[in-house]
Each structure stands twice: as C-alpha cells, then as structure tokens.
C-alpha cells in the first residue's frame, strides 16, 4: 500500500482513536481500501500517521460494527460484500424506517415539521440546479430528522448503523437519480401524514418509499456480484 504523501489520511486532532475510526470507516464505505487485500496494523498506522494503540481501539469498533474481520498475526480483512447481504439490509431498513415514521407521527414537533418542509424545499432546488450530491445528502438528512422525531434512540441507532453499511453498496452502485420526482412526492406525502399524526399511513408510505428506492440500487448492483 503506497501511503507516501497521502495527506487526506493524516490525523492531528484528539481523540485520535475516534478520528481513526471515522476515517477508516469512510474509507471502507468509499472503496478506498482494497477489499481483496489483507491489511496489517503497521500499514494502517502508517497510513493514518498514528501509533498502534489508538489504531487498535478504532479497529475494535470497526470489528464490532461489522466492517472488518481480525485475523491472526494482526492481519485485517475488510468484510465482503454480496447481493444477498444488500437485499437483507434493505429488507430490515424498510421495516425500521417504517417504524420510525409511525413513531414520529405520534411525537414529531412543529419545529421538526418545519425542518422537514425546509429540507424538501432545498431538495427541490438542488435537483433543479443539478446539484446531485446535495440532493442526495438532503434526502439523508430528511430521513435522519424523522429518525430523531421517533424519540426511539434504539431505532435511531440501528438505522444509523444500517445506513453506514448500505452506503457501501450505494457507493459502488451507479449513482442514479432517475426517480427525483417520485422521491420528492414521497417525501411530501410522508410530511402530510406526519402532520396529521397518521401513524399507519406514515409507516406504510415510508416502507413503500424505501422498497421502491432500493430497487434501482439493487438492479445496478447485479453487475458486480
């Protein structure tokens, strides 16, 4: 692994172990580390410009989160991807997102409704300006707002963890935004159900939204597996 002059991986701030964890996780998500190569602690420590003690703390978290497998003699392998794993992630996500929406319909505040309305308006503007990365990020923020509004910290944590793993697949899938109108309409409808406090309709609409959104990504992934 060539790390000479690779400044994007350097860490200077505290806490070092947390910074190492975040950078390595993002590197795994964005396919910056070779899935088929066995890595060593020394290579990763050199890559990050840190000692092995904080690195090992970061690796423990990555292993617990399911991003790496620890092998004998301080060797590390990034966990493999598969079509079945991707399908399973989306099945679970659709259920949890539905639950979050149902709970949010009961607990959402006026301030959170205003935030969702603003995010929807911003998403529309980003799409019209062809700011696709911002459009994508706003969509994620929209869902995170609903997760928080659910007031269920367990559901919120599980969705955050799922999102990290799903993003590994989204990154290698073709970045396609062929459904912007449908996505925006779905978000509009979900907001309306949340305003009404309609838990059943909010849950069903959110589940359908996730299932339909996942279809394109899963179709694109087929060429990789």
Query: What CATH number corresponds to the domain at position 34?
Result: 1.10.10.10
**Is there a single domain that holds both residue 19 and residue 110?**
no
What pLDDT shows up at residue 216?
82
Q: Which residues of the chain have pLDDT under 50?
A: 1-5
Question: What does the alpha-carbon distance between residue 163 and residue 140 come to, in Å, rounded to a whole number?
Answer: 9
What pLDDT shows up at residue 3?
43
Q: What is the rounded average pLDDT for all residues in the chain?
A: 89
What pLDDT shows up at residue 14?
66
What pLDDT shows up at residue 185?
95
Question: What does the alpha-carbon distance between residue 202 and residue 192 come to, in Å, rounded to a whole number?
Answer: 9
- Please identify, among 78, 100, 127, the residue that sits at the C-terminal boundary of a domain: 78
Q: List the one residue out of 203, 185, 182, 211 whose CA is nearest residue 94.
A: 211
What pLDDT shows up at residue 133?
80
**Is there a single domain that holds both residue 70 and residue 104?**
no
| In-domain check, residue 12 | yes
- Please identify, among 78, 103, 128, the residue that sits at the C-terminal boundary of a domain: 78
| In-domain check, residue 218 | yes
Query: Using an 8 Å Cβ cutoff, are 117 and 195 in contact?
Result: no
| Cβ atoms within 10 Å of 70's Cβ, excluding its own | 14
Which helix (H) or strand (E) segment is 76 a member of? strand 75-78
**Is there a single domain that holds both residue 207 and residue 143?**
yes
**Is there a single domain that holds both residue 96 and residue 52?**
no
């Amino acid at each position: 692994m060539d790390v000479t002059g690779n400044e994007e991986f350097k860490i200077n701030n505290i806490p070092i172990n947390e910074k190492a964890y975040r950078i390595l996780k993002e590197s795994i998500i964005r396919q910056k580390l070779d899935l088929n190569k066995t890595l060593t602690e020394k290579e990763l420590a050199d890559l990050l410009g840190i000692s092995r003690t904080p690195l090992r703390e970061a690796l423990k978290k990555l292993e617990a989160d399911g991003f790496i497998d620890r092998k004998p003699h301080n060797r590390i392998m990034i966990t493999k991807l598969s079509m079945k794993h991707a399908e399973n992630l989306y099945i679970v996500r659709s259920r949890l997102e539905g639950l979050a929406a149902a709970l949010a319909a009961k607990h959402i505040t006026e301030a959170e409704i205003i935030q969702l309305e603003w995010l929807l308006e911003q998403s529309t503007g980003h799409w019209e300006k062809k700011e696709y990365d911002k459009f994508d990020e706003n969509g994620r923020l929209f869902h995170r707002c609903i997760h928080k509004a659910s007031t269920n910290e367990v559901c919120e944590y599980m969705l955050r963890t799922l999102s990290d793993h799903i993003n590994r697949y989204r990154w290698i899938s073709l970045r396609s935004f062929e459904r912007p109108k449908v996505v925006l309409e779905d978000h509009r409808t979900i907001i309306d159900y949340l305003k009404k406090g309609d838990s059943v309709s909010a849950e069903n609409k959110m589940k359908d939204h996730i299932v339909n959104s996942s279809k394109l990504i899963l179709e694109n992934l087929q060429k990789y597996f």
